[in-house]
Amino acid sequence: MTSRTQQVEVSRSGVGQRLDNYLLRMWKGVPRSHVYRLIREGQVRVNGSRSRVHRKLATGDIIRLPPIRTAAKEPTSPPEEFPALRECTLYEDDSLLIINKPSGVAVHGGSGLRGGVIEALRKECSPGTYLELVHRLDRETSGCLMLAKDPAALRFLHKSLRNPSSNGIQKKYLSLLVGDWVHGPRDIDLSLETVRPTNESRRSVVTGKGRQANSRFVPIQHFDEYVLVEIELRTGRMHQIRAHAAAIGYPVGGDRKYGSRAGNRRLRQVGLKRLFLHAVELELKHPQTGQRLAVKAAMPDELTEVLMGLS
C-alpha cells in the first residue's frame, strides 16, 4: 500500500524525539535503512528543510512525508461494528488513557482477529499520535485497561508494573469462582509457566520451573456452590487469576480453558455467557504528577444479573 505526500505537525508525544524514531513509529514495518535513505535524500523535510536523522523534534515542527509503500499486507483494522471505545473512557489526561474494556474485545489484533482496542483507538487519532498499551486483559475479561500517550509515561508505568511493592500499580479484579469457599482471605503464591500443548493455544500451568506469581483472593459474597471474590494481582503473568483459581480448586465461572464444565453449566442457566472476570480497579502513581490515582470500573450489568440469578 503506497501513501500520499503529507504535511504532518509533530504531536505532543513526539516533541523531543529523534526524527528517525518518530518516523519508524509512524511507518510500522518500514525498514530502518529505507527511512534513513529518505531522510538523507531530502525526501523527508522538517519545516521545509533537509534534516539529519538524529534531529530532535520540537513543538510546531511540520514534517513533509513522501509517498511510501508501508506493507504489502493491509494493516490490521477493527471491523465497522467495533464498539465506540471512546465512550468507555474512565480517565484521560496528557499522559494516560484508561478505558472500561468490554468483554469479547481483544486488546490487539492477531491470531485471526481483524483488530483490537489499540487499533480502534489509533484509528481515531491523528497521524503521529503516540498510543501504546501499558498492560493487557484477556479478550473475555472486562474492565480497567490503561494506555500510555507518550513514551516517558509508558517507561514509567512499565517500571511500576515490575515493582508493585514500591509505589507501583495495584490491580484489583472481581470474579465468581466455582466451589464452596471455606477460607477467609487467601494468598496464592504458585509459580506459573507458559506452555503450548500440541494443537492447543497457550496456557499457564503451576510448575517449579515457572516465574513467581502472587495473587490475593478475598471472599466478598457466598452463594450455593459459588463465591464472589476480589483479587489483587501482585504480579502479572498470563492468565494468572484463571490458572491460580483452578490450581486451588475454585476455577473462574465461565472459564472454558481452566474451568469446571458442571459449574459453568449451571451458570449458563442463570444467564452467564462470558468469563466472570472484571478488572474493577487500578491504583497507580501518576507518571507526571507523582500523585496516587485510583480509577474504578463498575461491574457490567450482565454480571450483576448473574449474581441476582444465583441469589
- CA–CA separation, 220 and 227 (whole Å): 7
Which is nearest to 256 in space by CA: 187, 81, 265, 301?
A: 265
Tell me phi and psi for residue 160, to 5 degrees: -65, -35
Distances 137 to 104, 270, 277, 287, 300 between C-alpha atoms, Å: 11, 25, 10, 21, 16
- CA–CA separation, 12 and 15 (whole Å): 6
Cα atoms found within 13 Å of the Cα of residue 14, Cβ hemisphere only: 26
Which is nearest to 36 in space by CA: 13, 16, 56, 54?
A: 54
C-alpha cell at 285: 502513581
Report yes or no: 293 and 185 within 8 Å, Cβ to Cβ: no
Task: Please identify which of the residues 20, 138, 150, 255 carries the catalytic annotation.
Answer: 138
- CA–CA separation, 102 and 152 (whole Å): 27
Distances 52 to 5, 14, 20, 161 between C-alpha atoms, Å: 20, 16, 9, 36
- CA–CA separation, 240 and 204 (whole Å): 7
Q: Give the Cβ contact number of residue 180 at 10 Å.
A: 12
Active site residue 180: no
Catalytic residue numbers read 138
